[in-house]
Structure 1
Amino acid sequence: MPLHDPFIVADSDTRTYYLYTSNEPSVSGVDGIGTMVYRSHDLRDWMRPVVVFLTAEQKGIWATDGAWAPEVHAWGDKYYLFTTLHNEDEKLPVPPPNRWGTPFQVPNHRRGTVTAVSDSLLGPFTVVDPARPTPPENLMTLDGTLHVDPSGQPWMVYAHEWLQTIDGIMEAIRLAPDLTRTIGEPVFLFKGSDAPWLSEQIPGGTPHQLPPYITDGPQLHRAPDGSLLMLWSTYEKNVAGRDGTISGGYVQTYAVSESGDITGPWQQRRPLVRDDSGHGMLFASFDGRLMMVLHRPFGNARGKLYEMQLHGHELRVLRQCTDLDGGE
């Protein structure tokens, strides 16, 4: 199953797993930039994906490309799709020289997560504001996810692109009760360089890892003890070219807010999975297991499933579920 940035909704009413990912025309049979969904009753055998969102069907939409990292969340009596779009023709100002004196300045363009709504997990989803992304449009952002705090306040948590910040940032912003617009200013959560283990894989005798530092794929999970976990991804052994390309191994890691508050403070934990793996999310299977799905490798990605365990707020991998792998 070709897929990037997988997100699974376990629908208890139908006992069906819905796995959302970017549309792949060679698999779905539908051309266009958008979102498709695989369905399964057992996490092993999956139906041919169907397309639930296409940018070409969104009248007046600002974006031309992307449809990365789709997520679907039930909210009220509707379902809301978050997916990241961009438009390289709509330029953003190039940031001023940063504190590291990094020798490249990559041209920035409009990028951000949009919100779309549907009555069904199978769509079709219609973007609520075709004129702009949901986070502040002067920021270059991606991978927006939904978090609802204990008071019932919805937030969008997203990655503020290293292309604009050099040291990538995780931020959160409050959402209106109908999820269609933001309230107030973004709140800083942590930066990519906060992960203390980033230099471990660099060969001895070479300099410590230099910027940029990448933040990708936030996803929030409430632990039984009330603390808050955030899965996120980054790269080890980062090497950035002047054209903005990144080389190095993709990593699935996580952070913990022991206070249980989205504002933290956030403490970084060690990686869960290396091997060029990442952009994972946690969900509960119908038989009560805590599961994680991610993609590996970054190029020509496939989905991989892991059984997980929580001890308080410490997360660990029990096993990779190779019994659920299909044919390569």
Structure 2
Amino acid sequence: MEAWKLADIQIRDPFVLPLEREGRYYLYGSTDKNIWGKGTGFDAYVSADLQTWEGPHPIFRPEAGFYSDTNFWAPEVYAYGGRYYMFATFRRKDNDRLGTAVLAADGPLGPFVPHSEGPVTPEGWSSLDGSLHVDEAGQPWMVFCHEWQQVGDGEVCAVRLSADLRRAEGEPQLLYRASEAPWTTPFESARFPEQTNYVTDGPYMLRLADGSLQLLWASFIDGRYALGIARSSTGLLAGPWVQEEEPLYRSDGGHAMVFRSFDGRLMLAIHSPNKTPNERPHLLELAEHAGRLQLR
């Protein structure tokens, strides 16, 4: 395995899993050279210091008969119930729609194999970027995007999951639409010129030290990728969700998540720029002030 600096790793949708008992960080993401085409699988990188990364480790390669062969996107890996679960987006062969499925493994480097029976997002929806959230009662949920290409005004939704994460239980709940954020602008699309498009992308929910529930998500400002934050006014997943006036990051980067380093720093993982094959992962330090996240 080679040693890499982040500036040399082509990756979108970075997700970092810190395992303190090992003293290692695991970096996941969309790692195909061209994620807009045929899918190969997912790779991961490992680091002890967030500076030098060892890899790539192949952690998922589809077996014959897998329901997707295109658009392998946004793997997020969680330690949950004694195993490791990956939430990842794939484009289905049978209906050409995107959906997020759950995969599982006994270790953080897999190999990950299908755990759910196909996507757990609604079959009739084009959905992406599913993320695990466990609420204050210990109930698991998937937070995900209902794709703008299907609905015009992209949505962030949540659906309750079974305790074993194999399936959705009940109907999805709408949390908010992209146009509700004052910082977003319409996304011009030659494929969908007849509709007004607002993008939702890469939702990630977290609770801050003051107890507030916040949701990172990406969209566009005048054609440039940007990262914003919504805040639940009740501290509950159901919201209502209030959008911050200004984006957290607007320099052509997004699809972010937050983790805490072993020395206690709050870190933002984000990819920028938003153009293949130039996308790279960036780790930026955050601060909390009066229930708000700020870049240091």
TM-score of the pair, normalised by structure 2: 0.89
Describe the SS at the equivalent of 1:49: strand
Distance in 1 separating the partners of 2:254 and 2:39: 25
Corresponding position of 1:4: 12
**What is the SS of the residue equivalent to 1:48?**
strand
Indicate if the aligned counterparts of 1:216 and 1:232 stay in contact, CA closer than 8 A.
yes
Residue matched to 1:102:
none
Per-residue CA deviation, residues 88-136 of structure 1 (Å, 9 max, x unaligned), is x534xxxxxxxxxxxxxxxxx3210110010100100110235x21111
Q: Distance in 1 between matches of 2:39 and 2:220?
A: 29
Structure 1 counterpart of 2:184, which letter?
A: L
- How big is each residue's C-alpha offset from its partner over 1:187-239, in whole Å with a ceiling of 9 and x where there is no partner? 00000001112259xxxxxxxxx8200000001111122210111000112xx
Which of 94, 104, 112 matches 2:99?
112
Partners in 1 of 2:99 and 2:83 — Cα distance? 22
Q: Which residue of 2 aligns with 1:190?
A: 176
Report if aligned partners of 2:30, 2:42 keep a CA contact under 8 Å in 1: yes
- CA positional deviation for 1:137: 1.0
* Aligned AA (1:150): E
Who is 2:287 aligned against? 309
CA RMSD of aligned residues (A): 1.8
> Is residue 72 of structure 2 the alignment partner of residue 67 of structure 1?
yes
SS at match of 1:193: helix
Structure 1: tracts of 5 or more residues without a match: 92-108, 201-209, 238-247, 319-328
CA distance in 1, matches of 2:289, 2:46: 31
Q: Confirm or deny that 1:298 pairs with 2:274.
A: yes
Asked if the contact 1:229–1:313 (Cα under 8 Å) also holds between the matched residues in 2, the reply is: no
1:35 aligns with 2:52: no
**Equivalent-residue separation in structure 2 for 1:296 and 1:75 (angstroms):** 29
Does residue 44 of the first structure (1) align with residue 20 of the second (2)?
Answer: no
Kindly name which structure, 1 or 2, has the bigger radius of gyration based on alpha carbons.
1
Tell me the SS of whatever aligns to 1:47: strand
The separation in 2 between residues aligned to 1:197 and 1:129, in whole angstroms, is 36
**CA shift for structure 1 position 81:** 0.4
Local SS of the residue matching 1:275:
coil
Distance (Å, rounded) in 1 between the aligned partners of 2:78 and 2:172: 21
List structure 1 segments (4+ residues) > 6 angstroms apart after TM superposition: none
Deviation of 1:60 after TM superposition, in Å, equals: 3.1
1:81 paired with 2:95, answer no
Identity percentage over the alignment?
43
Partner deviation per Cα, 1:168-193 (whole Å, 9 max, x = no partner): 00000000000000100000000000
2:119 corresponding residue in structure 1: 133
Deviations along 1:136-180, one digit per CA (max 9) or x if unpaired, are 111100000000000000000000000111000000000000000
**Could you tell me whether the CA contact under 8 Å between 1:23 and 1:51 is conserved in 2?**
no
Please tell me whether the aligned partners of residues 223 and 229 of structure 1 are also in contact (alpha carbons under 8 angstroms): yes
The 8 Å contact of residues 256 and 313 in structure 1, kept in 2 or not, is answered as no
Q: CA deviation at 1:312?
A: 3.2
Of 38, 60, 65, the match for 1:53: 60
Question: Secondary structure, in 3 states, of the residue corresponding to 1:90?
Answer: coil
In structure 2, what residue type is equivalent to 1:86? R
Within-5 A mapping of 1:283-294: 283-294=259-270
- Give distance in 2, aligned partners of 1:312 and 1:147: 23
